Amino acid sequence: MAASDVETLRNKSLPQKINIFIWRAIKCKIRTRSELDKRGIDLNTLLCPLCDTEVEIVDHILISCHNVKHIWHLPLKWWNFNTLNISNIEEAFVENQSVVDTLIGRSIWQATRWVCCYTIWKNRNNKIFSNKEWIPNKIITDIQTQSFDWISKRLKKTSIKWHQWLITHHSTHLRTNKELSELALVKEAKDPKINRSVNRGRTILILQFIFI
């Protein structure tokens, strides 16, 4: 990703603090143990606080640590994807053009991934600084509720209800209200049953008009 793309990277469905977090993560400015070490801060260990086997760098703590991959698994299933084709942090943050077939769907899938990263980071901090337990199911629930809260409040062109948010196949369902009404019109034009009932309704209306 070009440096200019990073500077302008923003998702309007999310609060400013998430956009800033993502920008900082891409620039390796979040305080992983390896980054603190580079700044000369003396630490007992550089190992990942979740697995304790690999050095904690941004890519590892947000994407590739096996404890984190487990967290990613549900959003993938939830969005009806089988695998996460992400090898580094930049790929996690860009709007993936190929996997979701609507513009708004791509933006919301991007926002969901960003909330995933942010929630993972927040829970990593809670584990280190507040000695809180790493509970994957709770983190996954947090990702679903928090992403819904943020995204549904900020969406101007479509509306999402909580029960819709939790269904799978988001990759094809998310459309703007305009796209939905266009689809309904196409469906109506193609469906002879709808056409018949619409025509019947129109005939009744015309007859009522004539006989009033």
Rule CB under 5 A: which of 63-92 touch Zn ion? 65
116 makes contact with Zn ion (CB under 5 A): no
Name the minimum Å distance from CB 167 to Zn ion. Answer: 32
CB of 48 to Zn ion, least distance (A): 3
**Min dist. Cβ of residue 134 to Zn ion (A):** 11
Could you tell me which of 92, 91, 90, 50 has the C-alpha nearest to residue 75?
Answer: 92
CA distance 190 to 41: 67
Question: How does DSSP classify residue 180?
Answer: H
Phi/psi of residue 47, nearest 5 degrees: -75, 155
Q: How many residues bind Zn ion (CB under 5 A)?
A: 4
* 87 HSE (CA, 13 A, CB side): 0
Which CB atom, from 88 or from 171, has the smaller least distance to Zn ion? 88
- In terms of Cβ atoms closer than 10 Å to its own Cβ (0-12, 13-18, 19+), residue 7 is exposed
User: x/- binding map, residues 23-52, to Zn ion, per CB under 5 A?
Assistant: -------------------------x-xx-
Neighbours of 49 (CB within 10 A): 17
Which CB, 50 or 63, lies closer to Zn ion? 50
Task: Tell me the DSSP string of 58-90.
Answer: HHIIIIISHHHHHHHHHHHHHTT-S-----SHH
Q: Which is nearer to Zn ion, 4 or 131 (CB)?
A: 131
Shortest Å distance, C-beta 54 to Zn ion: 5
Using the contact rule CB under 5 A, the part of the chain among 59-67, 140-148, 151-159, 192-200 near Zn ion is 59-67
Specify the residue, 129 or 209, whose C-beta has the smaller distance to Zn ion: 129
Q: Exposure string (b/e) for 130-153, b if CB count within 10 Å is 16 or more?
A: eeeebeeeebbebbbebbbebbbe
Q: Which is nearer to Zn ion, 65 or 100 (CB)?
A: 65
In whole angstroms, the minimum distance from the beta carbon of 76 to Zn ion comes to 19
The footprint of Zn ion (CB under 5 A) covers 48, 50-51, 65
